[in-house]
């Protein structure tokens, strides 16, 4: 009888060890669920990096265009700073929705 009980204890101990290791594999601080969350976060950060690189390239092209094309620089000055030539008139329109409505 002693040999049978020892065998059962060995099986129960082994089963408990497998359950414990499986639990840790999934739910521990370094387990599968944390791995999946970090993989999703990594993918999101990589897409942000790609978007930032594309924005940087667009701005670099804009800088080169402004350096090399006087018409582009003049257009920027007109648009952003509101400069006008002596023979031009500036018409300032109120923005839609910002007008006060009188009761």
**Cα–Cα distance, 18 to 7 (Å, whole number):** 16
Q: What is the pLDDT of residue 99?
A: 55
Length of the chain: 103
Q: What is the pLDDT of residue 81?
A: 83
Q: What is the pLDDT of residue 3?
A: 66
Nearest alpha carbon to residue 17 among 27, 29, 25, 7:
25
Which tokens in the block code for residue 5? 């009980």
**Cα–Cα distance, 65 to 57 (Å, whole number):** 12
Q: What is the pLDDT of residue 61?
A: 95
**Cα–Cα distance, 87 to 97 (Å, whole number):** 31
Residue written as tokens 């059962």? Answer: 8
- Render pLDDT for 31-58 as a digit per residue (tens, 0 to 9): 888 899 999 999 999 999 999 999 999 9
**Cα–Cα distance, 88 to 85 (Å, whole number):** 5
Cβ proximity of 72 and 65 under 8 Å: yes
- Tens of pLDDT along the chain (103 residues) come to 456 788 999 999 999 999 999 988 888 888 888 899 999 999 999 999 999 999 999 999 999 998 999 888 888 888 888 788 788 887 778 887 655 555 5
Q: What is the pLDDT of residue 87?
A: 84
């Amino acid at each position: 009888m002693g040999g049978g009980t020892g065998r059962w204890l060995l099986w129960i101990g082994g089963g408990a060890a497998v359950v414990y290791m499986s639990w840790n594999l999934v739910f521990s601080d370094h387990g599968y669920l944390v791995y999946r969350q970090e993989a999703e976060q990594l993918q999101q950060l990589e897409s942000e990096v790609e978007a930032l690189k594309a924005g940087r390239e667009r701005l670099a092209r804009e800088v080169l265009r402004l350096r090399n094309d006087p018409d582009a620089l003049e257009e920027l000055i007109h648009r952003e700073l509101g400069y006008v030539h002596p023979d031009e008139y500036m018409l300032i329109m109120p923005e839609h929705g910002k007008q006060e409505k009188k009761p």
